[in-house]
Amino acid sequence: MPTTNHMEKDDNWVKIAEHINELDFGGNHIAVVRIERKKICIARFKEELFAFAYTCPHAGGMLIDGYIDAMGNVVCPLHRYKFCMKNGRNVSGEGYYLKHWPVKQTEDGIFVNIKLSGGLFGWL
């Protein structure tokens, strides 16, 4: 299976959907998917998909209720901190970091490169 990032291990790719049409993007272009017991956000911006944490690293705002700005940052609905969906950088400057994962779309489906360890996430 080809990967979009040679730095990532192939065995960490987890299938989240057969097709993009299965993802329920709201008007804000953010969907939630569940991998095992965890929810993560999948956002669509300019035909690209991004995966990031369900809650904001600042004070737990639900990013599913946020929005994507014109630069491709996710904006938290609680205090409007902004995070780059590509690298997790807190571009509004408060010093937080948004957990995020690579996403790839292939003819076999949509995959997130997320480390699963013994049935639990490595980041639990």
Q: Please identify, using beta-carbon distances, which residue of 25 and 96 lies nearer to ligand FES.
A: 96
- Based on the shown chain and the rule CB under 6 A, indicate whether residue 88 belongs to the binding site for ligand FES: no
Phi first, then psi: give them for residue 6, nearest 5 degrees: -70, -10
Classified as helix, coil or strand, 20 is helix
Binding test (CB under 6 A) with ligand FES, winner from 17, 30, 31, 56: 56
Candidates 43-51, 57-65, 98-106, 110-118: pick the segment binding ligand FES (CB under 6 A).
Answer: 57-65
Alpha-carbon gap, residue 104 to 122, rounded angstroms: 20
Which amino acid appears at position 106 of this protein?
A: T
Q: Which stretch binds ligand FES (CB under 6 A): 14-22, 23-31, 36-44, 54-62?
A: 54-62
Told to check if 65 binds ligand FES by CB under 6 A, we report no
CB of 105: closest distance to ligand FES in angstroms?
28
DSSP-assigned letter for residue 70: T
